[in-house]
Structure 1
């Protein structure tokens, strides 16, 4: 279980949201055309995720959660959020929940946030603090975890 990569969790969340929407729609509270706002959120989230990953590739460091990073990336979107890829995943899931328009997909979004915040990010923060020490602690103080 410790090697459930974030993109796999993201896909599992998408599948869970669609199944939950079909089997347990609970309440359709976002109607057409307002639910189409979710498409914009999906695009914004996809952009943030890709930009975060792109910067890792440019810098030549790993984007894999459980691998030790080669360097600390603090530019681009990383000036505004310490976790642009996770934030992008979260925004895309929120967008899908808005598109679907029922309550049950939002439960999955909250679950993704909790798992990411308590599991992936805490793991990464411990690893980064161990490797980069005071440099990471200073970055952590100046840049928020999410937004």
Structure 2
């Protein structure tokens, strides 16, 4: 299904995942989770996710390269500084944490299954094609980077 590779903007995937999580919570209601500070955990996950994603964008801007995930061919530099020293995909990781925060906020365990779907989709249709292009474009430098920095965390 290469037809879906790099075709759906990741922000749309995030919005769809959040919507599916809400729909799941509505269709499969359950008792709210009973732990002391679920709201604070939800806010913290969203905030940490946002900070990680923004750190990725900042590193791209510092390197003067595109942050457009739909066109990795337009990359003019291999970014390996800042947050990219710890994760190859801070924006997708940030979105995942924000979605996890949303899942905690809605308090529905079945809804959290969509996080797995998000990771599988982003890996297959966004990250793998991006990395294929980056390997072609940056060669050994990308292979060395990939060897030392994990995809998600």
Q: Can you give the 5+ residue segments of structure 1 that lack an aligned partner in the other structure?
A: none
Q: Is 2:59 the counterpart of 1:62?
A: no
| Equivalent residue number for residue 21 of structure 2 | 17
| Equivalent residue number for residue 33 of structure 2 | 30
Aligned length: 146
TM-score with structure 2 length normalisation?
0.89
Question: What is the root-mean-square deviation of aligned Cα atoms in Å?
Answer: 1.4
Partner SS, residue 14 of structure 1: helix
Q: 1:53, 1:63 within 8 Å by CA — same for their partners in 2?
A: yes
Q: Is 2:151 the counterpart of 1:145?
A: yes
| Equivalent residue number for residue 48 of structure 1 | 52
TM-score with structure 1 length normalisation?
0.92
Q: Can you give the 5+ residue segments of structure 2 that lack an aligned partner in the other structure?
A: none
Cα distance in 2 for partners of 1:93, 1:135 equals 32
Runs of 4+ in 1 over 2 A off after TM superposition: 27-34
Cα distance in 2 for partners of 1:87, 1:28 equals 29
| Equivalent residue number for residue 110 of structure 1 | 116
2:137 maps to which of 127, 131, 139: 131
Q: Is 2:87 the counterpart of 1:81?
A: yes
